Structure 1
């Protein structure tokens, strides 16, 4: 999907993004103090993060967030005089819980997760559109499952409350089926491929780099459905605590500038950037070639056009409406209050 695409209702439904388990994650964080959820920083900046000197950013091993690895590797944060401590989480619920428990200043999440944060009173704003994807999320199937209708009565693994659940719901609905027709096996995205390869489930929903790892295992696994069959499915955003936006605005601008530097670097030095990103997500770049081709990274120029344009006036309101209809949002959220675009520059 390219910038400026107008989404139909079904496409907007599919834009329910990678992190929908916000309520459960926030509850767990508050109840457990994030016990067991804390991730290790990507480098030795953990002490700085703890002291508040660094901007604490939560991410996941997902290609769409890969420009942060490029920015770190190429010294773009340092060049811009901003200290960023990257912390990587394997499960959606964990990064959501870390933000809810004030262990992060900003996080890479799905738009629906951001809206749920706001609905539940977490004082954050969307400041940047990061990426959209088509081929990097997929329903994988083992032998004997060649069509979605073959999933009837079969064990299907996926992460509840995440985009994986939405992709599966959309695929089942298109086939005239529902979750009642399959045996649900709850598993985080990083656990799905091993379960499928071990024969513990018949199908599973995950994203890159796990998709490529499963397809490359020569174990009869195939991609039953990809996000490319549902245009507009994956779009991720950066959310930042409003207190950070108010107290450290210049640093936030430089963080976004470093993202833009990385996007430009990737366009000019694609092979090198992909190597960096592949290393960041823990995979082999050769295994991710197709996946990279299915990810679009948004520049600041595109953000300046969209984040205060059609994304704000059409996409987010439509997403809010759909989310209310299917019960993901219990109360209305004003799209105009969810976005702060003053950090994008001119």
Structure 2
């Protein structure tokens, strides 16, 4: 099989934007309208998200009224696949979106005018390569079928695990699948292994069908991070709304730190699961505060982590050209 070629958003948008919008499930209780990005009034800020724990603080912000407290109206729309939320953002159907850092780099290479404004989370145990317990190592995946979503954090994790073992995608049978479909495929034995994230990792292990986490993101610290990207036209015309959104995230992180039980309950409900099934998964996610963002987005994440991710993404063909990681971040909204 050939090495994975670059995903081009320009081609994907036309084909998937309509599907993305059909999959949208609006969870906001706000009454405001969804004004066009870049207008005189922002209206409801259109944010794309997914049922992933790392984005869960937005559910806390909504539940606890932090958006209202910070005088911003946010409409949360949930998508099941990275490709769908990416397409909606590229097609200007969203003002901002929660994405893996590698997706932000892809946007920039493909000319989608967005910037990273907030580091949301990093995963340790919450992203994993799932396999049968009969598979004892990554090397044993050679010539085996592995399901994962191309262009997503799952591809990054698999790429690093394979490379660490002297292998590449050429050594496995790649099966394309959205993250929510991976666990059922692994449990049914339709593939030998799969890469996904929580809550799907916990669901696979809890099924007690001999599936385990062969590799987790914790084996590669700092590799899997998620960010909030915002269209630059929206950033330039609505800076106060962006700052209010960021402050609402920080308020939610603080609430969850003070009352973990309640915060986790809200997040679990938001991603369609329950706390009991996600107890260990929560321990595998770190939520970044505003203070941490001020330090990292002007320091280590800017100068080391993101450039390292560019190197990985280029090696596996997620991006092909030069992407200036330092220009990807706009930290002035963290004030």
Query: Does the TM-score normalized on the shorter chain lie above 0.5?
Result: yes
Give the corresponding residue for 2:20: 37
The counterpart of 2:230, out of the listed 240, 263, 268, is 240
The counterpart of 1:28, out of the listed 1, 8, 12, is 12
Give the corresponding residue for 2:295: 305
Secondary structure of 1:238's counterpart equals strand
Q: Distance in 2 between matches of 1:152 and 1:140?
A: 15
1:143 Cα deviation from its structure 2 partner: 4.7
Q: Is the 8 A contact 1:22 1:117 kept in 2?
A: no
Is there any run of 5+ residues in structure 2 with no aligned partner, and where? 37-41
Q: RMSD of the alignment, in Å?
A: 2.0
1:149 Cα deviation from its structure 2 partner: 2.5
Q: 1:159 aligned to 2:152?
A: no
1:260 Cα deviation from its structure 2 partner: 0.4
Secondary structure of 1:48's counterpart equals coil
Q: Distance in 2 between matches of 1:21 and 1:28?
A: 14
Secondary structure of 1:199's counterpart equals coil
Q: Is the 8 A contact 1:60 1:88 kept in 2?
A: yes
The counterpart of 1:175, out of the listed 161, 165, 178, is 165
Q: 1:103 aligned to 2:120?
A: no
Q: Distance in 2 between matches of 1:319 and 1:227?
A: 14
Number of aligned residue pairs: give it: 325
Q: Distance in 2 between matches of 1:313 and 1:166?
A: 19
Greater mean alpha carbon deviation, residues 227-236 or residues 315-324: 315-324
Q: Distance in 2 between matches of 1:261 and 1:306?
A: 19
Deviations 1:251-270 (A, max 9, x none): 11110000000010011001
1:64 Cα deviation from its structure 2 partner: 0.7
Cα 1:80–1:322, aligned 2, differ >3 Å: closer, same or farther?
same
TM-score (ref. length: structure 2):
0.91
Give the corresponding residue for 1:5: none
Is there any run of 5+ residues in structure 1 with no aligned partner, and where? 1-19
1:318 Cα deviation from its structure 2 partner: 3.3
Secondary structure of 2:262's counterpart equals helix
Matched ranges for 1:107-186 at <5 A: 107-186=97-176
Q: Distance in 2 between matches of 1:156 and 1:116?
A: 23
